[in-house]
Structure 1
């Protein structure tokens, strides 16, 4: 499932994204989640919870979904937008 995630700032961290899309319940769980699960940022393995993710990036989490990061003012808004 692909989902567009709109952000209103310059970037979102990977830990913030995981919490925003309800994969983790709190930021403190991010480090453990990333140690135990595969997360791809623009097709590259990523495990740093503080990694900055900018609009245009794609985060893939096998078994969870694919998240396309867009700036809130983007014209490209779909029904799956959060």
Structure 2
């Protein structure tokens, strides 16, 4: 295909059409993207597309509102992740480890015998439902 169109680099394939419109800044948000697609204002490979979550692949051409873009899939290695992603991954691991520690503490306390409530005692103020 001709490469005279501006390329939009994405790291995963396929990508949904509504997400691609947001990434390319052709629309201001996801809701707007879904509306313009469902009303038939978006062309995918020179055909009107009505599916909001249509899978878009490498070298597909999208046209909307006079703008034409071409999808380009870029493979990224683990070392090329943005710093925010690395920090988020570290924070997630910290949270998971903290959760495991608290869960282990709860399991130890659960093994201790607890007082059992008498079956005749009312559980709540609500009346039982009968049909």
Q: TM-score, normalised by structure 1?
A: 0.73
Structure having greater relative contact order (Cα 8 Å, sep ≥ 6): 1
Structure 2 unaligned blocks of 5 or more = 76-131
* Cα shift at 1:60: 1.4
Give the secondary-structure state (helix, strand or coil) at the position aligned to 1:15.
Answer: helix
Aligned length: 72
Q: CA RMSD in A?
A: 1.9
Give the secondary-structure state (helix, strand or coil) at the position aligned to 2:69.
Answer: strand
Structure 1 unaligned blocks of 5 or more = 74-82
Aligned equivalents of 1:25, 1:61: Cα separation in 2:
13
Aligned equivalents of 2:62, 2:36: Cα separation in 1:
15
Aligned equivalents of 2:40, 2:50: Cα separation in 1:
9
Match 1:24 to one of 14, 27, 48: 27
Larger CA Rg, structure 1 vs 2:
2
More helix by share: 2
Aligned equivalents of 1:36, 1:45: Cα separation in 2:
10
More strand by share: 1
